[in-house]
Each structure stands twice: as structure tokens, then as C-alpha cells.
């Protein structure tokens, strides 16, 4: 008997140098959509992330945005390129040279990413994700929701964005959401519309960060600094679907 393979879809807001779990979701889905037609919330993960601080603890790296109203959508968030944010981020990373075995390779990667100019945060973050996946060896094509021209119903609740997108993506669809979505997503609602819903739970492992105590959940940049691509793939594969 022949069974049609389900298409696994991941839908996330476009994060800036996100943590390892984001890339685990990318690796283990067939289609990955960057949802940029929702309201931008400041001080989230769209325009900033965290790396190690030189002496102890962690510090934010940030791509500054021009001030917008509270109802601004992510796709309309414009970078403030009058601020030398690229140079600042590279400067913040330079202390890794003292403790990280992959410092040169990661700095070359970042210099390549920052060699291009971008006007909006969505295009920047798509480029960041694409180049890091290429560096690690993850095959993925990112789709930007605002550019897909999908005719979906207007969501009536927060958990209906993904549902309504999945409904127009074809049959035999499985939607995979990070584990945090269990708090507000209605699995029955998805099942009634013929969409399987699973939650991706990555089991983050500690790794050596030089001579320091381990700081969990930092940007993928920190992971790249200290780990080989083989080790990173082992981390990406240490997950379960709930």
C-alpha cells in the first residue's frame, strides 16, 4: 500500500542570528516560511540576540531600526543604517579570538554577511539565515510570507496564522511549531481542518565556552564559535516531536 509523505512546514518570524533551536526546526521541516505580516514587537528576537560578554555574562548584538508606530508590521521595519551597527557587532565578537577555536571562520562568515546592504530587517534576517545554513550544511529555501501572494483567510486568533497558511499549501500537511506554542495553540482546531500539528522540542546541550561557565541559549554565533559542523548537526538532531 502506498502512503503519501506528509510535507512538514515551519513558520516563524524572521529572527536575527537566532539560537540553535531555530535552526533545528529549519533542518527538520520541508518548507520554512518567514512570517513578516504580523505586528513587530520591540525588544524581541527580530532585531537582536545575545552573545558572550567579554568578562562574564552575555550582551546583546543588535541591528537598529528606525522608530515606527506600535502597529508597524515586521515587513515594514526599516534598518537605521546611519548607525555603524555592523562594525559594533564585529567589535563585540572580537574577544572570542582569545577563547574560540573557530573564531576566524565565523568572523569571515560574518564579514561576508555584512558585506551586503539591506534596507529592511526581513531581508537582512533572511540573508543571515540563508548564509548560516549554507555554512553549517543545511539545505533550505526560505519563503517570505509577504512575497508569497497567498490568499489566506484573515486569522481570528493568534494560532490561526499557521493554520490558514497550511490550508492553502496543499494536502497532507504537517505543521511543526516550537514547544512554546503548546501554551496557546489548539491541536483540535488544526485536526478539524486536516492539518497535523506537532511541537518541536530541542534538547539543548552544554558545550565548552573556553574557560567560562556555560551560558545557555545564546545566538547561533556562539555555537559556531566553539563547535564543529558535525557537532552542531548532532545538537540539531537532538530533538523530539510532541
Q: List the chain pLDDT tens, one digit each, 242 residues.
A: 444 579 999 999 999 999 999 999 999 999 999 999 999 998 899 999 999 999 899 999 999 999 877 889 999 999 999 999 999 999 999 999 999 999 999 999 999 999 999 999 999 999 999 999 999 999 998 999 999 999 999 999 999 999 999 999 988 999 999 999 999 999 999 999 999 999 999 999 999 999 999 999 999 999 999 999 999 999 999 999 99
Considering the domain boundaries, does residue 30 fall inside one?
yes
Any residues with CB less than 8 A from the CB of 239 and at least 6 apart, and which? 21, 24, 28, 200, 201, 202, 203
pTM for the model: 0.96
Q: Is 2 exposed, middle or buried (0-12, 13-18, 19+ CB in 10 A)?
A: exposed
Domain tally, the chain: 1
Considering the domain boundaries, does residue 1 fall inside one?
no
For the chain, state the CA radius of gyration.
19
First CA to last CA across the chain, in angstroms? 27
| Phi, psi at 27, each rounded to 5° | -60, -35
Residue 31 bridge partners (DSSP): 9
Over the range 183-207, which residues count as b (16 or more CB within 10 Å of their CB) and which as e?
A: eebeeeebeeeebbbbbbebeeeeb
Q: What range defines the domain where residue 131 resides? A: 7-241
Helix, coil or strand: residue 189: helix
Considering the domain boundaries, does residue 83 fall inside one?
yes
Considering the domain boundaries, does residue 207 fall inside one?
yes
d(CA 73, CA 158): 15
d(CA 93, CA 110): 10
> Got the DSSP string for 104-162?
HHHHHHHHHHHTS--SBHHHHHHHHHHHHHHHHT----EEEGGGS----PPPSSTTHHH
Helix, coil or strand: residue 239: strand
Under 8 Å between Cβ of 31 and 169: yes
Considering the domain boundaries, does residue 138 fall inside one?
yes
Amino acid at each position: 500500500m502506498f502512503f503519501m509523505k506528509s510535507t512538514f512546514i515551519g513558520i516563524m518570524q524572521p529572527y536575527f542570528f537566532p539560537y540553535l533551536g531555530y535552526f533545528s526546526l529549519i533542518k527538520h521541516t520541508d518548507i520554512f516560511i518567514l512570517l513578516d505580516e504580523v505586528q513587530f514587537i520591540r525588544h524581541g528576537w527580530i532585531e537582536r540576540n545575545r552573545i558572550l560578554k567579554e568578562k562574564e555574562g552575555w550582551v546583546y548584538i543588535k541591528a537598529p531600526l528606525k522608530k515606527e508606530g506600535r502597529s508597524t508590521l515586521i515587513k515594514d521595519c526599516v534598518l537605521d543604517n546611519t548607525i555603524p551597527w555592523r562594525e559594533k557587532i564585529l567589535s563585540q565578537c572580537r574577544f572570542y579570538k582569545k577563547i574560540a577555536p573557530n573564531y576566524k571562520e565565523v568572523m569571515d562568515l560574518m564579514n561576508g554577511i555584512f558585506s551586503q546592504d539591506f534596507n529592511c530587517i526581513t531581508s537582512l534576517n533572511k540573508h543571515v539565515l540563508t548564509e548560516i545554513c549554507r555554512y553549517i550544511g543545511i539545505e533550505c529555501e526560505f519563503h517570505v510570507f509577504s512575497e508569497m501572494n497567498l490568499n489566506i483567510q484573515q486569522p481570528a486568533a493568534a494560532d490561526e496564522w499557521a493554520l490558514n497558511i497550511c490550508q492553502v499549501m496543499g494536502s497532507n500537511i504537517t505543521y511543526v511549531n516550537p514547544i512554546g506554542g503548546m501554551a496557546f495553540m489548539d491541536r483540535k482546531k488544526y485536526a478539524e481542518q486536516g492539518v497535523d500539528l506537532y511541537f518541536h522540542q530541542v534538547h539543548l546541550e552544554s558545550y565548552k565556552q573556553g574557560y567560562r561557565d556555560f551560558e545557555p541559549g545564546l545566538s547561533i554565533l556562539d555555537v559556531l564559535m566553539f563547535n564543529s559542523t558535525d557537532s552542531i548537526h548532532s545538537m540539531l538532531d537532538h530533538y523530539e516531536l510532541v
